[in-house]
Amino acid sequence: IVGVTGGKQCEIDVLVDATVAWRGRLDVLFNNAGETQAPASLLELEPAALRAEIDTLLTSVVLATRKAALAMRGHGGVILNCSSTAAHRAGSQSAVYSAAKAAVSHFTRCAALELAEQKIRVNAISPGAIVTPLFLKALAVPAGRESEALDLLREVFGKALPAGRAGEPADIAAAAAFL
| Torsion of the alpha carbons at 102, 121, 163 and 58, rounded to the nearest 10 | -30
Catalytic residue among 33, 38, 97, 104: 97
Is residue 158 part of the annotated active site? The answer reads no
Amino acid 38: pLDDT? 62
> For the range 85-90, what are the long-range contacts, defined as Cβ-Cβ under 8 Å and sequence gap of 24 or more?
85/126, 85/127, 85/128, 85/129, 87/126, 88/126
Amino acid 1: pLDDT? 40
Write down the mean pLDDT value for the chain: 87
Does 2 score more than 70 pLDDT?
A: no
Gap between the Cα atoms of 65 and 71, Å rounded:
10
Does 6 score more than 60 pLDDT?
A: no
